[in-house]
Structure 1
Amino acid sequence: MTTLLIYSKPVPLTVNFPSMAPMTLSQFYDFCQVNQELRIERTATGEVIVMPPAFSDTGNRNFNLAVQLGIWAEQDQTGL
């Protein structure tokens, strides 16, 4: 097995596997299982998108944003 280390900003990263394309559902499942620390998605066209895990700073920002959105939706009574 080949391990590829990718250091990137916390934005989605598209990884192309031309020698494996198109991956079957079983191959994609196996790929996800050996990379459980990553958030992996596959598009309708077969592209594999690997997103870095949300770290505590990102998690806190996301939580605060969700709280503010929830409070606004309750006060505005138009939302969610």
Structure 2
Amino acid sequence: MNPLILNNPQSTPITNDQFFQLCAANRDLKLERTAKGGLIIMPPTGGETSKRNSDINFELNLWNRQTKLGITFD
């Protein structure tokens, strides 16, 4: 699934504080901004991407258990 890009018709993009408030009010969405002020709504990962991420996290966690260099997150 492709991301949805919303272009801002205003000449002034939203501020960092406004973007922070938007993200805080929509915690279930993965939001990003473009360099030109557009808003990107990222779709959730699909099955194949989720499996690859799980495999990477598993390997990283195994490595970290051996090296004890910190903690891992998904």
TM-score by length of 1: 0.53
How large is the RMSD of aligned CA atoms in angstroms? 2.5
Alignment-derived partner of residue 59 in structure 1? 50
Alpha-carbon deviation of 1:18?
Answer: 3.3
Match of 1:25 among 2, 8, 16: 16
Structure 2: gaps (5+ residues) = 57-74
State how many pairs are aligned.
Answer: 57
Extract unaligned runs of 5+ from structure 1.
Answer: 1-9, 67-80
The percent of aligned pairs where both chains have the same amino acid is 43
The amino acid that maps onto 1:28 is F
Cα distance in 1, alignment partners of residues 26 and 7 from structure 2? 15
The TM-score, its normalising length taken from structure 2, stands at 0.57
Match for 1:41: what amino acid? Answer: E
Structure 1: 4+ residue segments shifted above 3 A: 16-19, 61-64
